[in-house]
Homo-oligomer: A and B are copies of this chain.
Amino acid sequence: MSQFNNATIQKEANVYYDGKVTSRTVILEDGLKVTLGIMLPGVYEFGTDGPETMEILSGKLKVLLPGSEVWQEIDGAETFHVPGNSKFSLEVFTVTDYCCSYPKSL
C-alpha cells in the first residue's frame, strides 16, 4: 500500500454534498497539495480554481470534462486532468477512493 511520508495533514475533513464526498487535505514533503477523498454513489459537479490532477484509486464512475460532450468511463485505477477555472461533472456508481493533486500549489 502506497503512502506519503513527512506530510502535513489537516485534521478536519472537507465535506461536500452532505458528506457523500469528503476529503482530507495533505501537503506533501515537496509542498504539493493533495486531497485524499471518498465519493459515494451520486452525481456531482465541481469547479476548479487551478488545474487539478485526479487519480482514481478505486471505484466505478464516469466523468464529463470541460469542453467534452463525451462521458469518460472509469473502472479502477485511472487518472484524468482538469483545467483551472473550469467545471467538471461526475457520476459515481460505486464507492470511489481518490487522490486529487493541485500542481499549481507547488
Among residues of B, the one whose C-beta sits closest to the C-beta of A29 is B6
Q: Which of A1-44 contact B (CB under 8 A)?
A: 1-13, 15, 18-20, 22, 24, 26, 36, 38, 40
Q: Determine the distance from Cα of A84 to Cα of B20 in the docked complex, in whole angstroms.
A: 31
Number of interface residues of A (CB under 8 A): 28
Question: Which of A2, A13, A22, A40 has the largest number of chain B CB atoms within 10 A?
Answer: A13
Among residues of B, the one whose C-beta sits closest to the C-beta of A4 is B9
> Is the CB–CB distance between A10 and B3 below 8 Å?
yes
Q: A interface vs B, CB < 8 Å?
A: 1-13, 15, 18-20, 22, 24, 26, 36, 38, 40, 57-58, 95, 97, 99
Query: 10 A-B contacts, Cβ less than 8 Å apart?
Result: A7-B7, A9-B9, A9-B26, A11-B57, A12-B57, A12-B97, A15-B38, A19-B40, A19-B95, A38-B38
